[in-house]
Structure 1
Amino acid sequence: MSANVVLMDPAALADFLADAVREYKACTPELPPRSWAVLLGRFTDDAMQVERVGFATNIRETDDSVLQEFNATIIPRFGACYANGRRGYWCEPRELLRITTEAEAQGLEVLGSIHLHPDWHRIGPPHERGLRVSQEPTPMDRHLFQGSGWPLNMILYLERREGGLYHSLGAWAPPSDAEPDAACRALTIRLRTPEAGLG
């Protein structure tokens, strides 16, 4: 039975949120923010419990096979914007193996990944201001989610409003192999509630 619920203490994403905010504040219209991490945790009877994140090196701009994949498949299918090496994330395989091995030694599993979507319609280049993203997957996200096969794919949407930064989260199961262009199935996120001081 596939899990439809994600259980999480908000503190489990603290390191990722800090990285996403750093990226967001440093970005320019030519250099989009990018933040990506592996989600580590446990499967329970009917849920996935996220306990922490793991970071790995991005080889999107440096590995020849990744560059070839983007040139041959990604850019023709999803658009010229992906020619910008700052678009997309490709985890270094040896580091993913290290993260997986260390997690298993601690009784944890790789559940999936999380990445950042910014309010690009406000901060992107003028010719891309019509592109509105959110915590929902883009066609490119659906492609990558299906390729990874991970059961949990989270997107943190970050936007500036009223002088402050705000975020929302989405959690998604990948499209099925039978229907690769189908929508991702939304998963329910349940955040741990502090009980101290509650009646």
Structure 2
Amino acid sequence: MTPDTVLLDLSVLADFYGDSVREYESCTPELPPRCWAILLGRFVEDAMSVERVRFARNIRESDDAVLEEFQSTIIPRFGACYSNGRRGFWCEPKELLRITREAEAEGLEVLGSIHLHPDWHRIGPPHERGLRVSQEPTPMDRHLFCGSGWPLNMILYLERREGRLYHSLGAWAPPSESGASCRPLALRFTVRGG
């Protein structure tokens, strides 16, 4: 069974935060922000310790098999919004293999992934503003989490309020079957000087 706790020094996510903010700041209602990365770490006692983040190439818009999967399965099941090629991330398999081998050489494992959710109900196209997202998994997220089988799936939620960006972070175990609920995981952050 997947451990219930995730140990994390927030500095590990610094590059991911930076990339997420850049994506958020440059997005438009037609071009949603996207940011996705692989989480590397190790199992320690009853927890998962995230120690590195690795970015990988997205083949969501360029691979024929992925495009077919979206046309035949994703769009009919989760909606026309996924016909926008900026929606969704599909990691290039050779890069995933390379990252996995490099992690193993460092004594680490691929624990899972992290991706961005923006406050789409504020910045998205008018016809999609009824969809509220957060650090909670969407039905599409649950489908992908189930498919990957990774024990850790994190979501960074960004929202603008009063001219400033705020964030929340969620961690989830995969559902037992596609569409089922994801079990929340406890996040424990390193305290400096403690």
Output the TM-score relative to the length of structure 1: 0.96
* Structure-1 residue corresponding to 2:100: 100
The structural deviation recorded for 1:98 is 0.7
8 Å Cα contact 2:41-2:111 kept in structure 1: yes
CA contact (8 A) 2:2 2:173 kept: no
Match of 1:12 in 2: 12
2-side partners of 1:24 and 1:181: how far apart?
27
> In structure 2, what is the equivalent of residue 188 of structure 1?
186
Give deviations 1:12-43, integer Å, cap 9, x for gaps: 10010001001001100000000000000110
Please name the residue that 1:119 is paired with: 119
> Quick check: 2:70–2:82 contact (8 Å CA) kept in 1?
yes
In structure 2, the gaps of 5 or more residues are none
Gaps of 5+ in 1: none
Alignment TM-score, normalising by the size of structure 2: 0.98
1:153 Cα deviation from its structure 2 partner: 0.2
* Counterpart residue type for residue 41 of structure 2: G
Number of matched pairs: 194
Letter in 1 for 2:111: L
Q: Take 1:182 and 1:60, find their aligned partners in 2: how far apart are those partners? A: 24
CA distance in 2 between partners of 1:18 and 1:60 (Å): 22
Q: After superposition, where does 1:71-82 map in structure 2 within 5 Å?
A: 71-82=71-82
Tell me the equivalent position of 2:172. 172
Quote how far apart the aligned CAs of 1:181 are: 2.4
User: Which amino acid in the other structure matches residue 189 of structure 1?
Assistant: L
Q: How far apart, CA to CA, are the structure 1 residues paired with 2:20 and 2:123?
A: 15
Match of 1:50 in 2: 50
Q: CA deviation at 1:163?
A: 1.3
What is the CA-CA distance between 1:2 and the residue it aligns to? 2.5
Distance, in Å, in 2 between the alignment partners of 1:94 and 1:184 is: 28
Which amino acid in 2 is paired with 1:133?
V
> Does the alignment pair 1:68 with 2:63?
no
> Which residues in structure 2 correspond to 1:152-163 (within 5 Å)?
152-163=152-163
Runs of 4+ in 1 over 2 A off after TM superposition: none
